[in-house]
Amino acid sequence: MKTRMRFPIHLCQPDSEKSCAACCGIYNFRDNGRRAVRQRLLRNSVFLDPRSCATAQRLASHSQRWRPRDNGDAKRFQTIFNCEFVGFVDVEQRRVGCLLHPALHDGRDLRQCSFYGKDLCDGHFCPSYLSLTEDEQAFVVETLDDWYLYGLVITDIDLVKGIYQHLSDRLGRAVARAWLRPPTVRSRVQTFWQWKATWPYRRKGSDWFGKYLFVGDRYEELPIPYELWGRSPSPYHRILCALGSDFRSLEELDAAERLIETAMDQAERAFDGLF
């Protein structure tokens, strides 16, 4: 009998406010801005609405139309599959997930129609489940109620660990889950998460994602040329890389470090008010 893994926090669907479907490829497109991602999710959600008749013919028709398009030139990284059966799973459009899941079809499991099939989809847990501590996971879950940013952040292990560690070091103690609920704290922490969409020093184009540059079917980390500028690696190196930083000058690097330092100062003051 297959043993199902259990974790204290279910990162895929942590609560009614947000969820993550990054493993379904929702960000693996050359255009992965909020509007474009939302349009693709709505496209699937409308056609595969559980209230409609989910016949094999209907599912096959949707797959034949969109699977080749979603996995053609529109993709960022060719070796990651983009599923055509992912969409919004609630009326409020707060949560994303599998439109074939039995929870949406009165217990009928339709995931055999997907590219990976039921068994692989059902048993997959992304690296964040194992690489992030429970406190680090809660650091994101308690401070984000936005499906688009949540999926980008919770799967970015370097960003979460980097910010969590710097704040914990400043406070002289590990950030606890109970401290994350006040609106002022949530607002200050959200500043870091919003950089996944607004970071002013991120690389242009679509040949990268997070800290990785894609070269054909290979990938490598985006470099920051500290040696060229006669500088030691930044104390915020892990964060800068996670945000896809591509600096054109030492002045830009200095400005980026000041931006992080200011956000850290503001977050620290918000936490200090709790003690």
Please state, in angstroms and rounded to a whole number, the distance separating the CA atoms of residues 144 and 19: 10
> Which residues neighbour 263 within 8 Å (Cβ) at sequence distance 6 or greater?
188, 191, 192
Please state, in angstroms and rounded to a whole number, the distance separating the CA atoms of residues 186 and 206: 31
Is 50 a residue whose pLDDT tops 80? no
CA 19 to centroid of chain Cα atoms: 10
Largest CA distance in the chain: 64
Burial 215-250 (b: 16+ CB within 10 A, else e): eeeebeebebeeeeeeeeebebebbbbbbbbbbeee
pLDDT confidence tier of residue 31, bands split at 50, 70 and 90 = very high
Express as a percent the part of the chain with pLDDT over 70: 96
| 153, 159 contact by CB (below 8 A) | yes
For the segment 188-224, what is each residue's pLDDT rounded down to a tens digit?
999 999 999 999 999 999 999 999 999 877 889 999 9
Q: Which two tokens stand for residue 113?
A: 């129609």
Secondary structure letter of residue 191 according to DSSP:
H
pLDDT at site 54: 65
Amino acid at 246: D
Task: Return the SS3 of 163.
Answer: helix
Is 231 a residue whose pLDDT tops 50? yes
Mean pLDDT of the chain: 92
Nearest by Cα to 177 from 221, 132, 210, 118: 132
pLDDT at site 51: 62
Q: Which two tokens stand for residue 119?
A: 């068994």
Q: Which two tokens stand for residue 227?
A: 């040696």
For the segment 90-100, what is each residue's pLDDT rounded down to a tens digit?
999 999 999 99
